[in-house]
Structure 1
Amino acid sequence: MKINMHDLYCLSNFIDYSLPIHEPLKHSNRIKYTCFDISENYVIFGATSGSLYLFNRCSGKFLHLIPNKHGPINHLAISVNEKYVAFSTNRSICVYAVNLSAQVAPQVIYTNLSSDQSVQVTCLHWTHDEKQFYYGDSRGQVNLVLLSSFMGHSLLNMTIHTILFLESPIIQIDDFESLLLVSNCSKCILCNTEYEEYKQIGNRTRDGAYGSCFAVSNNEAIQPSRIYCARPGSRFWEVDFEGDVIQTHQFKTALAIPPVKIHKVSESEIETIAKYEENDEMLDYQPQNLQFGKVQMLNQDFLLAYTELGLYVFDMRKSSIVLWCNQFERIVDCRVVNDDIVVFTQTGSLYSVRVLLMTQYVCELVRQEKLLECACCMRKNVKYFADKAREDYDMNVLNQIKNFLIDRQEYELLNDLSVIFDAIAQCEGNGDNNSSGGSSCTAERSISLGATAMHNKISKEQTTHGIYVLENAFCDNLKSQKSTEKPLKDALLTVTGKFGKNIIKYKFNVFSEEQQKLVHELIPTNERVLPFKDIRALCENDEEIVCRMKRNNSDTNTKNFNGQHISAEEKTIYNLYLICKSAKISNTNFVERYRDLFDSIGSARDLISLLDKLEQVMREHGDSELQAKKSCYEMYFNYLNAELIWEMDDFTRDYIRNGFILLNASNDIVRCDNCNFPLRFDNSCLYHDIGAVLLRYYWSRNEQVKCFDVLTQVPALFDILARFYLAENNLDKILSIVLNYGQPQLLQDIGKNFSLYAWARCFEQFVELQQGRLSCVNCECVTPVENVNRHFFYTWNCFLGIALDYLEAHDILTLILKWSNCIPNDAIDREFYTRCLLKA
């Protein structure tokens, strides 16, 4: 059947499944359905009880209950061939092997998720081979679940591999052959899992839940396969399979049209007439600024999207709206199965509708003998049906409407439809006479097809040079191609599990300029700009390449394009290098990406040796010696459990000490004139917990020399030294530390152990401090210091406020009176004296 720019569509074949699906729940008001999926033969619901409810899709009959003890179900998905059901709870990922035999107990296997209870599964997606499925979670990870089976019958085990790390929750996952499409709250990533390539689609990030999907064509010559990515403002990106944005479809203004009404079989004649007599064209419909969190294809022709309040169908080939409908109450989820759209609502109801051409719909009404409804539908769209009749459509079946209206004496309605019946009669006459008009129509169609083919050829030629010819006014891809500024694609990082523990990307062609400089030696020059298809062709013709997915398990080495062997250790080092660089670019701690790898290394010395080699690789790729050392230490310290320092050997402990000093070294330290020990400094500290354990270890073993060696270079650990002296009741040392450290919290913690005598000594040293004379913790000599207040020393208000927490009012007022000559007139606020009066 021919489809042209003027086709109209409707929603028909309405089915309400709500009554049969709630039959199993009729004896419990507590259990509610939370999610669903539908396939050729089944409808399956997840419930708050944790159980699965299986129904026959065609009959609506309840088939089976699968209990689950792991908590309420929040997502589920049926595999392509209906063999398995994957579902998730707050704590676990589960798989149910569909078996309706009464003699076999339901088989459910599960694995626990992260120990972090805040992590939630956000989407599930099966691959076509049923051997694996993907799930995304709220922390931005995409995980691959592999199923193992025995003789293809009994499910035995499943394993989970994290394959992609992003920075925000995963919204939707789709796949086609070796391509994986992942959409999160900020971007879409296209992954070639076979050749381990990752590309961010487009340069413009977004903030919100926007989905994406593949649109695979059966005829690439006429309709190329595409990817569609939802964008803010009711827009969609049209993307080719190389990950390049071809054009942007804008539907915000175009959606200012009336919604369609759903045809329901149970409607009475009065309801039917009333529905079609509503004049929607007189209403003022505003543009719709929508956010589509999930999109999917409908019959390879249309794109289906939904919001909580509406269902939307788009024809992306014509950049047009097929229809939208607002007759569902609070949509939770939608699925497409065959020709049907299945809608699940917040009330737990389930509905099915079908998108039909208006011509198909009215012909179906005639066959169902719903002639009045057919006549009303035709009157609402007179011009449309008249045009269809003139285009040689087989519309003569509608002549039954004419006789029906004459018998009912509906002459007004008959008059309104007369132009349609005249067009049908004209078409029948033209067909009988085989008039020249038919030849003219055929010629016009041939010219149109020829022009379209020529346009496609021109567009293809221009596209190969990076120029896109865009057909509609909603496109925004006509900006200058000269700009070289691109955002950092920090999301394109690491894959583990099925594709290797951590993968080196020799063919990585999507780095920005900054990143290309970082990995230029890893990527051959002639391959940095190759698209997926060209790299694939190169790989297929290059006998030197060993494909990881097809290699022998005993092969521990790989080869790059230059034929050079790369050992497993070198591969690991290069991957650690990429992880480290991506962490710097995105300012994110990626310790989870290498934790398992570090755990698998035999000893602490082996790990240090690996980090030394990683440092050498960083220096070879342009990092300075200092920066390379810092980067390696940061990776190690992010991974290190500080308490393990007690169990380490001296070599490892010295390595940690040197790294801690290196990361916290500072030239902005005021030192004692006598012994060069720190007097004033910035008390901020990286990895303070590691430094604290080091000092406690040295102090407990009477290695004060090593302890003071660390303190001399990292005085930010003076708070730990203060507690050592507190345990020894060494008041003079404590006072110097507390006042020189300049942190009120430390004085609050230590001050509760001070006696009145200690507070009097503290007053004395505080006066010295305010006058720019600092007492050394090490040699107790006094050194004059200029600009003493620039390092956030205590003010009188702060100091006295803390002292008042532990002293009686008359004691602190006595001390103030004693040192009144050293206190500026405006140094103490009135609020302090008010507190003294209240405490007295």
Structure 2
Amino acid sequence: MYISGISWEHRGQNITALCWDTTTLRVFIGDAGGKVSFLRAGSSKLGKGSAFVIFPVQTITTVDSKVVQLGYQDGRLLVSSLSRCYLCDTEREKFWRVGNKERDGEYGACFFPQSRGSVLGQPPLLYCARPGSRVWEASFSGEVLSTHQFKQLLACPPVPLVSYRCELQYSSAQRSPQSVAFPKLLYLSDQNLLTWTDSAIYVFVPQCGQVLLWTEIKDVVDVAVFRSELFCLRCDGHLTHLSLLPVERCVERLLRREYWLLAATICCMFQHVIVPSRARKCLPTDRLEYLRSQLNPSIQQDLASQLEEVILRLEPLDSASSSRRSSISSHESFNVLDCGIYRVISRRGSQSDEDTCSLVSQSMLEEERLKEFNFVQEEEPLEQGKGCDL
């Protein structure tokens, strides 16, 4: 396999954004000067082998400032710069702005597929970050439909990052409202919106105007997602793998790996998730009783006593979680996702502060450090016909 092709289209500028169009093997490129281009990849026969060929770069447009993020969906390219978001119809070569108000700083934007229950073929939505923890929701044609404000909702406590390598830390105390600039936005499975800063990761349910969770994690440079898996590039070059899991499935995984102390701690910490009957599918009563038997009563007496209290309150599998359902249905509509998370849709003016954060503690992030990948740039001469520069 050989890779060939050289382009000087972005010479003198840092490449700041990349985006693949997998259907036609195109990669879109944005740089610090605002130039947006694309190149097409293909393969051809070369002697006895095959070559992966990069065709010449074609400039699409130049926007007003540095390109922060690119997105592509169904023939349209979304360009987020330091001041605006732009839509480009790549087939008809038409451009238009998303919204009228400018901004100043690094704010991301992404396409967002409509929910599974929508009409087949319905176009995706756009989400564009705004100052002060706000996000625009826009149509596929770029018309702003609504503004979501997450500043007050982010006063909820962060969920713990569950790791085998450090002690679990969690405080249920409320925080101050957060005014955050979201530098990039990504679609995360099951209608969630992911963003991050250098000190935290945030997951929203934008169509319900809810914060699903946020957690503190430092030195995150970039994030890629696959289904409910997050791959985080850190400042030191390490790659961290995070899995978004409901509490009961997190405990189930810890039990399989015999992390008894951590599993028991989570059961006691989030007992409002463990007690209801729906958790019996993953955590039958006998498994939790076995967990209790694995604790050392002389060293972990308090934890064993707390777990015993949780076990005594467990609802059987065929019992309806009437208390939880009635507390929600009295003033809210909701549905339950496949993973067991309650998605709450509040009626205007009826939501209390406690209900605002009702989704936050239903899910957790479990950290699984991959092999210690160190991404170190090494200056090595490229062999002719085996390298590619943009």
Q: TM-score, normalised by structure 2?
A: 0.73
Aligned to 1:372, the other structure's residue is in SS state: helix
Q: 1:505: which partner in 2?
A: none
Does 1:163 pair with 2:66?
A: no
Which residue type is aligned with residue 143 of structure 1? S
Matched, 1:401 2:288: yes
CA distance in 2, matches of 1:281, 1:250: 22
| C-alpha distance in 2 between matches for 1:111 and 1:378 | 56
- Asked whether the 8 Å contact 1:371–1:401 carries over to 2, the reply is no
CA RMSD of aligned residues (A): 3.5
CA shift at 1:336, angstroms? Answer: 1.5
Supply the distance in 1 between the matched residues of 2:321 and 2:284 (Cα, whole angstroms): 24
1:146 paired to 2:72: no
**Aligned residues of 1:365 and 1:371 also touching (Cα < 8 A):** yes
Pick aligned residue for 1:323 from 199, 208, 213? 213
- Residues 421 and 131 (structure 1), Cα distance of their counterparts in 2 relative to 1, 3 Å cut: same
Instruction: Quote the Cα distance in structure 1 between the aligned partners of 2:207 and 2:21.
Output: 26
Please state if 1:199 is matched with 2:90.
Answer: no
Q: 1:413 to 1:402 in 2, by over 3 A?
A: farther
Which structure is higher in helix share? 1
The equivalent of 2:383 in structure 1 is none
Instruction: Give secondary structure in 2 for the equivalent of 1:294.
Output: coil
How many Å apart are 1:440 and its aligned residue?
8.4
Residue 221 of structure 1 pairs with residue 112 of structure 2: no
Residue aligned with 2:254, SS: helix
Q: 1:195 to 1:391 in 2, by over 3 A?
A: same
Partner of 1:87: none
Specify the alignment match of 2:248 in structure 1. Answer: 359
**Secondary structure at 2:55's aligned position in 1?**
strand
Deviation at 1:208, TM superposition (A): 1.0
Alignment match of 1:294 (pick from 184, 187, 192): 184
- 1:366/1:398 contact within 8 Å kept: no
**C-alpha distance after superposition, 1:143-165 (max 9, x if no partner):** 12233543694234522222223
Deviations 1:720-764 (A, max 9, x none): xxxxxxxxxxxxxxxxxxxxxxxxxxxxxxxxxxxxxxxxxxxxx
How big is the shift at 1:422? 3.4
Query: Residue deviations 1:511-568, cap 9 Å, x none?
Result: xxxxxxxxxxxxxxxxxxxxxxxxxxxxxxxxxxxxxxxxxxxxxxxxxxxxxxxxxx
Structure 1 residue 396, shift from structure 2 partner? 4.3
1:377 to 246, 263, 266: 266
The count of residues paired between Structure 1 and Structure 2 equals: 329
In the alignment, which of 236, 240, 256 is matched to residue 139 of structure 2?
Answer: 240
Q: Which residue in the other structure is 1:749 paired with?
A: none
Tell me if structure 1 keeps the 8 A contact 2:183–2:197: yes
Provide the residue aligned with 2:9 in structure 1.
113
2:16 corresponds to which of 122, 134, 140: 122
Give 1:315 shift.
Answer: 2.1
The within-5 A match list for 1:797-808 is none
Q: 1:162 to 1:263 in 2, by over 3 A?
A: same
User: Is the Cα–Cα contact under 8 Å of residues 180 and 193 in structure 1 kept in the other structure?
Assistant: yes
Say if 2:184 is the partner of 1:281: no
Question: 1: CA distance between counterparts of 2:95 and 2:316?
Answer: 56
Query: What is the CA distance between 1:261 and its match in structure 2?
Result: 3.1
Percent identical across equivalent pairs? 26
- Aligned pair partner of 2:160 in 261, 269, 274: 261
Separation of aligned partners in 2, 1:470 and 1:196: 41
TM-aligned CA deviation for residue 206 of structure 1: 0.7
Deviation at 1:125, TM superposition (A): 1.2
Counterpart for residue 387 of structure 2: none
Unaligned runs of 5+ in 2: 336-344, 350-390
Distance of aligned partners of 1:404 and 1:295 in 2 relative to their CA distance in 1, 3 Å threshold: closer
Q: Distance in 2 between matches of 1:357 and 1:401?
A: 17
Q: What CA deviation, in whole Å up to 9, does each residue of 1:326-383 have, x standing for no partner?
A: 233x222211234321111222222111111111101111222222211111111222
Alpha-carbon contact 1:399-1:421 (below 8 Å) kept: no
Q: Which secondary structure does the structure 2 equivalent of 1:311 belong to? A: strand
What are the Cα deviations for residues 29-68 of structure 1, in whole angstroms up to 9, with x where unaligned? Answer: xxxxxxxxxxxxxxxxxxxxxxxxxxxxxxxxxxxxxxxx
Does 1:306 pair with 2:196? yes
1:101-139: CA deviation from partner (whole Å, max 9, x where unpaired) = xxxxx5342111356x3x332211111125321111222
Are residues 1:208 and 2:102 paired? no
Distance 1:177 1:247, change over 3 A: same
Structure 2 counterpart of 1:186? 83
Residues 1:158 and 1:353: Cα distance change in structure 2 (over 3 Å):
same
| CA distance in structure 1 between the aligned counterparts of 2:334 and 2:217, rounded to whole angstroms | 38
Shift of 1:311: 1.9
Q: Deviations over 1:693-738 (max 9, x none)?
A: xxxxxxxxxxxxxxxxxxxxxxxxxxxxxxxxxxxxxxxxxxxxxx
After superposition, where does 1:408-807 map in structure 2 within 5 Å?
408-409=296-297, 412-418=302-308, 420-424=310-314, 426-428=315-317, 431=318
1-side partners of 2:346 and 2:172: how far apart?
A: 31
- Does the CA contact (< 8 Å) of 1:334 and 1:344 recur in 2? yes
Alpha-carbon distance between aligned partners in 2 of 1:471 and 1:113, rounded to the nearest angstrom: 52
Q: 1:222 to 1:130 in 2, by over 3 A?
A: closer
Closer/same/farther in 2, CA of residues 239 and 151 from structure 1, 3 Å limit:
farther
In 2, Cα distance between the equivalents of 1:382 and 1:345? 33
Over alpha carbons, which structure has the higher Rg? 1
Q: Distance in 2 between matches of 1:346 and 1:438?
A: 47
Equivalent residue for 1:134? 28
Contact 1:295 1:305 in 2 (8 A): yes
Structure 1 residue matching 2:135: 3-state secondary structure: strand
Q: TM-score, normalised by structure 1?
A: 0.36
Q: Distance in 1 between matches of 2:156 and 2:271?
A: 18
**Cα displacement (A) at 1:263:** 2.2
- Structure 1: gaps spanning 5 or more residues: 1-98, 100-105, 432-436, 454-468, 474-840
Match for residue 575 of structure 1?
none
- 2:130 is the counterpart of 1:231: yes
* Cα distance in 1 between the residues matched to 2:22 and 2:158: 35
Q: Report Cα offsets for 1:78-117 as digits up to 9, x if no partner.
A: xxxxxxxxxxxxxxxxxxxxx4xxxxxx5342111356x3
Please give the alpha-carbon distance, in whole angstroms, between the structure 1 residues aligned to 2:334 and 2:258. Answer: 41
Considering Cα pairs closer than 8 Å and 6+ residues apart, tell me whether 1 or 2 has the greater RCO: 2
Whole-Å separation in 2 of the counterparts to 1:394 and 1:114? 55
Using a 3 Å threshold, how does the CA distance of structure 1 residues 114 and 295 change in structure 2: closer, same or farther? closer
Q: Does 1:333 align with 2:210?
A: no
Q: 1:415, CA displacement in angstroms?
A: 4.0
What is the CA–CA distance in structure 2 between the aligned matches of 1:470 and 1:146, rounded to whole Å?
Answer: 46
Distance 2:254 2:214 in 1: 22
Query: In 1, Cα distance between the equivalents of 2:10 and 2:118?
Result: 46
SS at 1:122 equivalent: strand
Structure 1 residues 334 and 178: alpha-carbon distance in aligned structure 2, compared to 1, 3 A threshold: same
CA drift at 1:220: 4.8
Q: Report the CA distance shift for 1:392/1:129 in structure 2 as closer, same or farther (over 3 A).
A: closer
Letter of the 2:40 counterpart? L
1:285 shift after superposition: 2.6
Q: 1:391: Cα distance to partner?
A: 4.4
Cα distance in 2, alignment partners of residues 471 and 203 from structure 1: 29
